[in-house]
């Protein structure tokens, strides 16, 4: 039976499922032949739906690079009801009357939530607080004093106003809590509120429209159904620049060799200019159309002073 290539699988998580539940189903299917390591890049709460990127085999080494990408969400805020979890699964803490807020007024208030903002993560979150996941402490009734952190909201567009509900599209940095954003927005408007529904539309270059519905991943599904949709580890980072190296250097890198920048310049000269992403960021080393390694590159004024270090190695 065909085994999935190392890489990533785009799934569309349904409501009520946990992210781990999707991972478990996929792991079970591959266990029928050759077991494969499975993870995911960014948890979605059970009530939320949308793009969940599954990491397979060596694709699990890509977690930090994929999770750091910006996200796009479709979110609905319900005004007048505040919950302890900031979402529909929590205990209602307070209800308020929702006045007839004008759509123009609501849209005017959006601007203060765009750009670099500070937000306090939800008490019911996976952030560690004094060595324990915050949500575990919160469930025990213990106080969780999480510190505000800076995130970036690149855009926030109001799509519909049907009070007490407001639907919006949000493009934001990794680490942004939409639950906190919804609760803060509700308080800013007056009556308070919570995140009624959430759907992740995009993560970096990947779109939920290209994802496999998690409902199609069942015990009766064939492993080949998943294998055919796996993106290779090279294609999993389409926005990252790359350098083509020869087979001999690739073999050395896979055995722990750290190439100096001069060796990579030779490869650059055989390509059409310096690839995007090479300066002050991550760069892929590719050989024979396969990802060999990911390097951290810190460039200074002169090319001869560029510093590069292998951070992840991938085996053929």
What the block records as the tokens of 20 is: 């781990």
Q: Per-residue DSSP letters for 173-226?
A: -TT--HHHHHHHHHHHHSS-EEEEEEEEEEETTEEGGGSEEGGG--TTS-HHHH
Are 257 and 269 a contacting pair, CB within 8 Å? Answer: no
Identify the active-site residue in 6, 12, 45, 184: 45
What the block records as the tokens of 18 is: 């946990």
Q: How far is 76 from 184, CA to CA, in rounded Å?
A: 13
Q: How far is 204 from 238, CA to CA, in rounded Å?
A: 10
Are 55 and 41 a contacting pair, CB within 8 Å? Answer: yes
Task: Output Rg (C-alpha) for the chain, integer angstroms.
Answer: 22
- For the chain, count helices (H), then strands (E): 8, 19
Residue 45 known to be catalytic: yes
Q: Helix, strand, coil proportions of the chain in percent (round to 5)?
A: 25, 35, 40
Report the greatest alpha carbon distance in the chain.
70
For the chain, how far is it from start to end, CA to CA, in angstroms?
Answer: 20
What phi and psi values does residue 260 have, to the nearest 5 degrees?
Answer: -85, 160
The residues annotated as belonging to the active site are: 45
């Amino acid at each position: 039976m065909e085994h999935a290539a190392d890489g990533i699988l785009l799934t569309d998580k349904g409501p009520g499922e946990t992210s781990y539940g999707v991972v478990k189903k996929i792991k079970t299917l591959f266990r029928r032949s050759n077991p494969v390591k499975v993870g995911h890049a960014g948890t979605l709460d059970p009530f939320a739906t949308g793009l969940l990127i599954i990491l397979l085999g060596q694709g699990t080494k890509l977690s930090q690079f994929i999770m750091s990408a910006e996200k796009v969400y479709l979110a609905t805020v319900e005004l007048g009801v505040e919950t302890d979890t900031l979402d529909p699964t929590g205990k209602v803490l307070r209800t308020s009357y929702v006045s007839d807020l004008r759509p123009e007024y609501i849209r005017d208030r959006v601007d203060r939530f765009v750009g670099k903002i500070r937000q306090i993560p939800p008490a019911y979150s996976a952030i560690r607080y004094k060595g324990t996941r915050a949500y575990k402490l919160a469930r025990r009734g213990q106080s969780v004093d999480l510190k505000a952190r800076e995130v970036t909201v690149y855009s926030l567009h109001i799509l519909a106003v049907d009070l007490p509900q407001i639907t919006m599209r949000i493009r934001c940095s990794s680490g942004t809590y939409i639950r906190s954003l919804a609760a803060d927005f509700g308080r800013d408007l007056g009556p308070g509120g919570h995140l009624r529904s959430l759907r992740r539309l995009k993560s970096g270059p990947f779109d939920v429209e290209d994802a496999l519905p998690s409902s199609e991943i069942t015990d009766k599904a064939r492993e080949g159904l998943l294998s055919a949709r796996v993106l290779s580890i090279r294609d999993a980072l389409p926005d990252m620049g790359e350098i083509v190296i020869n087979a001999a250097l690739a073999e050395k890198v896979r055995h722990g060799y750290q190439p100096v920048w001069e060796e990579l310049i030779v490869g650059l000269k055989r390509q059409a200019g310096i690839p995007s992403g090479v300066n002050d960021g991550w760069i892929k080393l590719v050989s024979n159309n396969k990802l060999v390694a990911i390097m951290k590159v810190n460039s200074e004024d002169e090319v001869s002073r560029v510093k590069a270090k292998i951070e992840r190695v991938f085996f053929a």
